[in-house]
Amino acid sequence: MKKPVFSLILCLFIKTVIAVEGMWIPTLLKKFNIEEMQKMGFRLSAEDIYDVNHASMKDAVVLFGSGCTGEVISGDGLLITNHHCGFGQIQKHSTLEHDYLSDGFWAKNRSGELVNPGLTVQFLVKMEDVTLEVMQCVNSDLAEDTIKKVIAANVEKIKNSYSGTEKYLVDVKPLFYGNQYFAYVYEVFKDIRLVGAPPVAIGKFGGDTDNWVWPRHTGDFSLFRIYAGKDNKPASWSPDNVPYRPKKFFPINLKGINEGDFTMVFGFPGTTQEYLPSQAVRLLIEKSNPNKVDARTVKLAILEKQMAKDPKVRIQYSSKAAGVSNAWKKWQGETKGLIRLHAIENKELEELEFSKWVSQDAEREKKYGSILSDFKKYYAELSEIQVAYDLYNETVLRGSDVFGLISRFSLMRQAIHDTAKFNKQKKSLSDYLPVYLKDYDRETDQLLLPALLKIYFERVDPKYLPEKLNSLKSAILNSSYVLSAYQKSLFSDSSKIKILCRDYSPKTQKKLQKDALFSLFATLSDHFTKNIEPSYQILGQQILKTQKIYMAAILDMKKGERIMADANLTLRVTYGKIEGFEPMDGVYYQYFTTLKGMMEKNNPAISDYVVPEKLKSLFLSKDYGPYSNSTGEVPIAFCASNHTTGGNSGSPVLNANGELIGVNFDRCWEGTMSDVLFDPERCRNISLDIRYALFIIDKFAGAGYLLDEMNLIR
């Protein structure tokens, strides 16, 4: 009796870390990863994941919009992604009469599916290493500017070489800071319709309070359908379009998951920076993150108060507030995680090793000898400019709605001598105006602007503030100036804005110059463009150039080893295991959550935690259908050790057989530093258990007819 118990305990203690860092390139899996993946349990081949000549998993994964992933789950182009990825669309279709945010939306049939102008999805047709072609005629004797021109011309040539009879989108992107290049060919679909979305109380359950946090009970999914022309090719919206017939769609596994199971995530991770020097990490931890966080703390406090007061404001600002809050919380987790990992000190140690390696060889000295001192010099210069740059973006350009709108008017001002450009700006402004006004609340915005400008004037080094405003500084700091400018401004009155936009002509210029709010923006923005942006750009270029050489040196130093490339919003594979983690000493988080836990969080007094009545009654009557787990509970989410980042939202989470078991939607807060430094012990991605999505569609929404087109593996 005793022995097995003992060895079980021993097993738990010596459990090796099996997380695999890295977001891997689909065409290189065979060379670098497939063997390891199979050792971890994967039962398919590299060709099953990516193949140009036969249908493979890549044909069922899309870039959804401009920054999420989605996957096809039926032969009729049905697509699943996150609720937060479709949030903008769901919100745009919502009004007080049809409040799809609060009530959810389920198209009764295909004709009830809602059109989303501007939304696209992109399938990767193929990708190819084009490094040699991009680098043709580039050599180190050329001046930096010339190199850029040669590369740009080569990239153009490559893009043109792909244009066949069919219309594809071709993109050429650098990897390893431009030490390697890949060309990506995409088929872009433009008629994407909303099929279904649960109410916010499910799709965003836990709201911004639980965002980034495990344990999680968010039903973060929404359904769309891809439409194509009768020839199954991309087409602009038309009533004659038909559901797209994909080359491949994912079967859905209802049999459930276990700790230790192999998982892979296949999607479009946006940005990681795993090769930053210590100075960059220091700037992030000590200045960039804290300043941006503080600005957003002020903004969020105002938004939350206003949204709680008025249901109309809640609808108008919910999408904006979610966006503001998301990065705000991530930056805090990232800072904390980096400090805990002693990231700066560790990078410094690595740099010491690096210099030793460089100094061993005269040739290396020549090529790489100045990298570290260059970084040191550039980052020292960047520090204060970075503060001005970050806070300009957070508080001036993107702080309030009104300055956002004025910045668009100001583009017209700049285009005034170029009729074609002017008309284009005017058209884009008049298209934008209704969208702006629908979600604009004057009272809220009037609170935001002065509060945010106050931070800008408090924190930015006076040498980066316009002298012209010196005499107003104290009135800006106590808000009186900004408030009175706002109240008197043309931009606080929607009918005046409409007329201004309609009748905009060169004469309007004079009128605008007299508007105190407009001229405040113009002064700040002109000063930024003349005195902050140029130095920021120049330093940025120098840093990038150094980073490219640093990267080349690392590749050289680690020649023969498997080296991961940073994410760049292209299709990648990451793999790991389903596993819980220890977020802090003395606490172990198990790998899954259930409906029971959601009921425990239920709290009518906190808007983030109100469980819908219908869900409560399903829970009480245990009406779970085939969607419960082995202990009879409905599973909601699970965590696993896949290295993911922003952009992976909505990505398919697949089991060893390539069947869909979940939809990725978040990372655990304790692991959000993984964009800079991955910790296999604490970095976990969070996925919706696919059984919960089906349970909600079928039992909660009564939209079980949607399941008929899926391939369910029971």
Residue spans of beta strands (DSSP E) within 597-659? 635-640, 652-654
Tell me the β-bridge partners of 689. Answer: 662
State the binding string over 169-208 for ligand ARG (x if CB under 6 A, else -): -----------------------------------x--xx
Taking the mean position of all CA atoms in its chain, how far away is CA 470? 38
Positive/negative CA dihedral, 610, 611, 617, 621? negative
Q: Is 84 a catalytic residue?
A: yes
Span interacting with ligand ARG, options 318-326, 457-465, 467-475, 517-525, rule CB under 6 A: 318-326
d(CA 99, CA 583): 38
Least distance from ligand ARG to the Cβ atom of residue 100, Å: 17
Q: Among 641, 649, 651, 674, which one carries the catalytic annotation?
A: 649
536 burial (CB, 10 Å; 0-12 / 13-18 / 19+) is: middle
Joined tokens for residue 326: 């998301």
Closer by beta carbon to ligand ARG, 174 or else 206: 206
Q: At residue 679, what is the residue type?
A: D
The residue from 38, 136, 273, 326 that contacts ligand ARG (CB under 6 A) is 326
The pattern of x and - marking residues 398 through 417 that bind ligand ARG according to CB under 6 A reads --------------------
Burial of 192 (0-12, 13-18, 19+ CB in 10 A): buried
* Binding residue for ligand ARG, selected from 303, 322, 406, 676, defined by CB under 6 A: 322
Size of the site for ligand ARG (CB under 6 A): 12
Pick the closer one to ligand GLU by CB: 33 or 648: 648
Which residue of 51, 80, 84, 644 would you call a contact of ligand ARG, by CB under 6 A? Answer: 84
Question: Residue 117 Cβ, how far from ligand GLU at the closest point, in Å?
Answer: 22
Q: Which does 645 bind (CB under 5 to 8 A by kind): ligand GLU, ligand ARG, none?
A: ligand GLU
Widest pairwise Cα distance in the chain? 92
Between CA 202 and CA 220 the distance in angstroms is: 7
Q: Binding of ligand ARG at residue 607 (CB under 6 A)?
A: no
Residue number, 278 or 649, with CB nearest to ligand GLU = 649
Q: Which residue is nearest to ligand GLU (CB)?
A: 649
Of ligand GLU, ligand ARG, none, which one sits near residue 658, judging by CB under 5 to 8 A according to partner kind?
none
Q: Which is nearer to ligand ARG, 83 or 691 (CB)?
A: 83
Amino acid at the residue 44? L
At a CB cut-off of 8 Å and minimum separation 6, what does 216 contact? Answer: 206, 210, 593, 636, 637, 666, 686
Q: Give the active site residue among 48, 83, 84, 210.
A: 84
Report, in Å, the least distance between residue 102 CB and ligand ARG.
16
**∠ CA(369), CA(678), CA(670), 5° rounding?**
135
Tell me if 253 contacts ligand GLU by CB under 6 A. Answer: no
In the annotation, is 102 catalytic?
Answer: no
The DSSP symbol for 396 reads I
Rounded CA-CA distance 382/378 in Å is: 6
Q: Please say which residue, 27 or 648, places its beta carbon nearer to ligand ARG.
A: 648
Q: Which does 325 bind (CB under 5 to 8 A by kind): ligand GLU, ligand ARG, none?
A: ligand ARG
648 binds, among ligand ARG, ligand GLU, none (CB under 5 to 8 A by kind): ligand GLU
Write the single-letter amino acid at 172: V
Sign of CA dihedral 553, 556, 558, 563: positive
Per partner kind, with CB cut-offs from 5 to 8 A, the member of ligand ARG, ligand GLU, none near residue 208 is ligand ARG
**Of the two residues 211 and 306, which places its CB atom closer to ligand GLU in the complex?**
211
Q: Report whether 453 contacts 484 (CB < 8 A).
A: no
Q: Tell me how far, at minimum, the Cβ of 316 lies from ligand ARG, in Å.
A: 16
Provide the angle, in degrees to the nearest 10, between the axes of the packed helices 289-309 and 442-459: 160
**Please, how many CA atoms are within 13 Å of residue 494, restricted to the half-sphere of its CB?**
12
Binding mask 39-68 toward ligand GLU (x if CB under 6 A, else -) reads: -----------------------------x
Binding at 207: pick from ligand ARG, ligand GLU, none (beta carbon under 5-8 Å per type) = ligand ARG
Closest CA to 347 of 289, 281, 287: 281
> Which partner from the list ligand ARG, ligand GLU, none does 211 bind, CB cut-off 5 to 8 Å by kind?
ligand ARG
Structure tokens at 484: 């009175």
* Residues 658-677 interacting with ligand ARG (rule: CB under 6 A): 666
Options 81, 122, 288, 649; binder of ligand ARG; rule CB under 6 A: 649
| 129 and 181 Cβ atoms separated by less than 8 Å | yes
The pattern of x and - marking residues 373 through 402 that bind ligand GLU according to CB under 6 A reads ------------------------------
Catalytic residue (choose from 48, 208, 220, 261): 220
Give me 680's structure tokens: 């296999």
Interface with ligand ARG, residue 283, by CB under 6 A: no
Nearest to 684 by CA among 584, 613, 581: 581
| Whole-angstrom distance, CA of residue 499 vs CA of residue 495 | 6
Sequence-separated (6 or more) residues with CB below 8 Å from residue 525 = 396, 397, 407, 410
Let me know if 674 is a catalytic residue. no
Instruction: Residue 322: name its binding partner from ligand ARG, ligand GLU, none (Cβ under 5 to 8 Å by kind).
Output: ligand ARG
Nearer to ligand ARG, 324 or 412 (CB): 324
Rule CB under 6 A: say whether 665 interacts with ligand GLU.
yes
Q: Kindly determine how many residues on this chain lie close enough to bind ligand GLU according to the rule CB under 6 A.
A: 10
What string marks each residue from 598 to 637 as x (binds ligand GLU by CB under 6 A) or -? ----------------------------------------
Specify the residue for token string 């920021």.
536
Query: CB–CB of 248/631 below 8 Å?
Result: no
> Min. distance of Cβ 178 from ligand ARG in angstroms?
27
The answer to whether residues 122 and 59 touch, using CB atoms and an 8 Å cutoff, is no
CA 242 from centroid of its chain's CA atoms: 30
CA distance 192 to 63: 12
- The encoded tokens of residue 501 equal 């936009």
E-strand stretches of 461-591: 572-577, 581-584, 587-589
The secondary structure element, H or E, covering residue 68 is strand 68-72
Among 210, 666, 670, 679, binds ligand GLU (CB under 6 A): 666
Q: Of residues 211-250, which lie at the interface with ligand ARG (CB under 6 A)?
A: 211-212
Which of 612, 635, 646, 671 forms a contact with ligand ARG (CB under 6 A)? 646
645-664 binders of ligand GLU (CB under 6 A) = 645-649
Distance CA 133, CA 143 (A): 19
Task: Kindly state the DSSP code that residue 417 receives in the 8-state scheme.
Answer: T
Contact 70, 121 (CB under 8 A): yes
Beta bridge partners of 70: 62
**446 vs 593 by CB, closer to ligand ARG:** 593
Nearer to ligand GLU, 202 or 396 (CB): 202
Among 398, 572, 577, 667, binds ligand GLU (CB under 6 A): 667
Alpha-carbon torsion (140, 142, 148, 153), positive or negative: negative
Where does this chain bind ligand ARG (CB under 6 A)? Answer: 84, 204, 207-208, 211-212, 322, 325-326, 646, 649, 666
Show which residues are catalytic. Answer: 84, 220, 649
Where does this chain bind ligand GLU (CB under 6 A)? Answer: 68, 644-649, 665-667
